[in-house]
Amino acid sequence: METRKKLTVLIADDHPLVREALRQALDGEEDMEVVAEAADGEQAVKLASELKPDVAVMDIVMPRLNGIEATRKIKEIAPDIAILILTAYDDDEYVLGLLDAGAAGYLLKSARGRDLAGAIRAIKSGESVLHPKIIAKLLKRAMVAPVKEHKASEILSERESEILRLVAMGMSNKEIAERLFLSERTIKAHLTNIFNKLNVASRSEAIVKGLQWGLVTLENTEDKLRD
């Protein structure tokens, strides 16, 4: 019987007790493996570049290099790594800044262990770990941001462009599959292609990149945002 590859995880936090708690929360998950722990931002960047984990779970406030700057550096070195930020803050503008840095999503430190495991799985399956209101704010902020000139047809296929717009509407893989009369497996395959073409590792990053490149606009998602 084929053995599924485990999701590899890097934990970065400057508090040993927090790292231990996070490791314990994930050690009981059969489909995950914690491959390293980092005590500061610079160590997180070094370990991420060496080990190339699937997901880096990272605190914001760390010595030597904070979580936001560490995120930027990791995404420059290894864009395939998805970064899940642990934070005590849920202010919208703060979260938008995290996403601009390349984070795949965020999780409040008040979350339970099973929420952490669920968020890691969601990121790697192409599902969102963002509240719909954050996605809506991303879209509206993009109205005043400069857009890089890219022709969608030269980057994504017509179907992929359609799926990216539905993703930006906040629709789940299941909802997109039902909307397009396709299987969830097919939607996941399309999302993998989209991630590869945009050089991102998560749905959140794909939305941000789509906005930056003009592949997603407020006009082609506003109907859903009014629902």
Q: Residue 218 in contact with residue 139, Cβ under 8 Å?
A: yes
pLDDT-based confidence at 144, cuts 50/70/90?
A: low
Q: Is the pLDDT of residue 99 over 80?
A: yes
The phi and psi torsions of 144 (rounded to 5 degrees) equal: -105, 5
Q: Is the pLDDT of residue 4 over 70?
A: no
The token pair at 137 is 């704010």
Of 163, 98, 159, the C-alpha closest to 129 is 98
pLDDT at 73: 95
Helix (H) or strand (E) holding 83: strand 82-87
Q: Residue 22 in contact with residue 13, Cβ under 8 Å?
A: yes
Tell me which of 129 and 20 has the higher pLDDT.
20
β-pairing, 105-108 vs 55-59, is: unpaired
Give the least confident one: 54-68, 105-119, 142-156, 199-213. 142-156
The pTM assigned to this predicted structure is: 0.81
Hey, what domains does the chain have and what are their CATH numbers? 7-124 (3.40.50.2300), 136-226 (1.10.10.10)
pLDDT at 111: 83
pLDDT at 226: 44
Task: Give per-residue pLDDT as tens, 37-87.
Answer: 999 999 999 999 999 999 999 998 899 998 889 999 999 999 999 999 988
pLDDT at 126: 82
Task: Give per-residue pLDDT as tens, 39-49.
Answer: 999 999 999 99
pLDDT at 1: 42
Of 36, 54, 55, the C-alpha closest to 46 is 36
SS3 182: coil
Tell me which of 197 and 129 has the higher pLDDT.
197
What is the DSSP code (8-state) at residue 89? -
Q: Is the pLDDT of residue 155 over 70?
A: yes
